[in-house]
C-alpha cells in the first residue's frame, strides 16, 4: 500500500515549507516556500554558513571598505533570501516563494520596490519569473501591491491569510496564489474557546475549505495553498486542495504512514453549492476585517513575528560579518 505522502501527491501539489535544503532534497516536493523565520533558522545551521558568508563577502564588495559592519549586514540581508531561493531552485522542479520584508506590509509603494528588487536578483541569476513567487502579507496594501506586480508579470503568493475577506480581495486582484494559515487559525480558536478540534471540525480546515469552494464556484484562477499545519489530520482533511505547503516533520509522518487517503476537496462539487458572492472594495475589506477578531489578531501577530525574525537575522548577519572580519 502506498504511503500517505505519495497518495497526497496524486491529489495535490505538495510544497516543502522550509529553508532547510537537505529536507527539500529528502522529500522531493514540487515547489518550496520560505518565510523570514525559516530563513533566519536556516542561516544559523552550520551546513549553510557558506551561503551566508558568500552573501556577506559580496555585500562588502558592493558597499566598500568604509562601510560599517551593520551596513554590510544590511546589504547582505537584502540578498540572503534570494541566495537560499536559488539553491532551492536547483532541487525543486517548480517554484520557490520568497518574502518581501514584513515590516513593509502596510506600505504598497515600498512593497513594490522590494518585490521588484527580489525578482531582479533572480533574473540576474538567469532565473525566470515563472519559477518565483513573491510573498506579501494579505493586508489591503499588500494585496494592492500584488495586483500591480501581477500585471507586470511578477507572480505573487499572498501569505498571513486568515479570513474570507482577504481571500476574496486576493482573487479579485488576480494574484497567483494564496496561503491561508490553517494551524494559526486553530491556535486562536483553541485559546479563545478552550476546546480542542479534530478533523473536519478544525476551524483552520473549515476556513480553507470555504475559500477553496468559493474560488471554484466563481471561477477564480487564484490557487489555494493551505499552510501552517499543526498535525497530519489537518492535511488529510484538505487532500484535493490546489497546493499544500508542509513542514519536514509532517512530511516525514505522511511518508512513513500507510493507509488510504480520501479526496476531501473536490472542485467538481463547487457549482452545486449555495454560495453568495461578496463584492469586495476597501470599505468592505476593512469592515469585515474589523469584525473578524481572529483574522485581525493573527494578521498583526504574524507581521510582528516575521518582523522580529528579520530583526534577529540582521543582528546575526552583523555579528557574523564582525566575526569573519570580511575584508574590503
Active-site pick, 135, 216, 217, 264 = 135
Give the integer Cα–Cα distance in Å for 205 and 202.
5
Give the integer Cα–Cα distance in Å for 17 and 307.
19
Burial of 30 (0-12, 13-18, 19+ CB in 10 A): middle
CB 173 within 8 A of CB 151: no
Let me know if 135 is a catalytic residue.
yes
DSSP assignment, residue 242?
Answer: S
CB 318 within 8 A of CB 70: yes
Would you mind telling me the total number of residues written for the chain in this entry? 328
Q: Which residues contact 189 (CB under 8 A, 6 or more apart)?
A: 195, 197, 203, 294
Give the integer Cα–Cα distance in Å for 179 and 167.
9
CA triplet 224, 185, 225: central angle to 5 degrees?
15
Catalytic residues: 135
Amino acid at each position: 500500500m502506498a504511503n500517505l505522502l505519495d497518495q497526497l501527491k496524486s491529489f495535490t501539489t505538495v510544497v516543502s515549507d522550509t529553508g532547510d535544503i537537505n529536507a527539500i532534497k529528502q522529500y522531493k516536493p514540487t515547489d518550496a516556500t520560505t518565510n523570514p523565520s525559516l530563513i533566519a533558522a536556516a542561516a544559523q545551521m552550520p551546513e549553510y554558513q557558506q551561503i551566508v558568508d558568500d552573501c556577506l563577502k559580496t555585500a562588502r564588495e558592493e558597499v566598500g571598505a568604509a562601510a560599517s559592519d551593520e551596513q554590510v549586514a544590511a546589504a547582505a540581508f537584502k540578498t540572503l533570501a534570494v541566495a537560499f531561493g536559488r539553491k532551492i531552485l536547483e532541487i525543486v522542479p517548480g517554484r520557490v516563494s520568497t518574502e518581501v520584508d514584513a515590516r513593509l506590509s502596510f506600505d504598497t509603494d515600498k512593497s513594490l520596490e522590494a518585490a521588484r528588487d527580489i525578482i531582479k536578483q533572480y533574473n540576474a541569476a538567469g532565473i525566470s519569473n515563472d519559477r518565483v513567487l513573491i510573498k506579501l502579507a494579505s493586508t489591503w496594501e499588500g494585496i494592492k501591491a500584488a495586483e500591480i506586480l501581477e500585471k507586470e508579470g511578477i507572480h505573487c503568493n499572498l501569505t498571513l491569510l486568515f479570513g474570507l475577506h482577504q481571500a476574496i480581495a486576493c482573487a479579485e486582484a488576480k494574484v497567483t496564489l494564496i496561503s491561508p494559515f490553517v494551524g494559526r487559525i486553530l491556535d486562536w480558536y483553541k485559546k479563545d474557546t478552550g476546546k480542542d478540534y479534530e478533523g473536519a471540525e478544525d476551524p483552520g480546515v473549515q476556513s480553507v475549505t470555504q475559500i477553496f469552494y468559493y474560488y471554484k464556484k466563481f471561477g477564480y484562477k487564484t490557487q489555494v495553498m493551505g499552510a501552517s499545519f499543526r498535525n497530519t489530520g489537518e492535511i488529510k482533511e484538505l487532500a484535493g486542495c490546489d497546493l499544500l505547503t508542509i513542514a519536514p516533520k509532517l512530511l516525514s509522518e505522511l511518508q512513513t504512514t500507510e493507509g488510504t487517503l480520501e479526496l476531501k476537496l473536490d472542485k467538481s462539487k463547487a457549482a452545486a453549492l449555495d454560495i453568495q458572492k461578496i463584492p469586495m472594495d476597501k470599505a468592505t475589506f476593512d469592515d469585515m476585517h474589523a469584525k473578524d477578531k481572529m483574522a485581525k489578531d493573527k494578521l498583526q501577530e504574524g507581521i510582528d513575528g516575521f518582523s522580529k525574525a528579520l530583526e534577529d537575522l540582521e543582528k546575526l548577519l552583523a555579528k557574523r560579518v564582525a566575526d569573519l572580519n570580511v575584508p574590503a
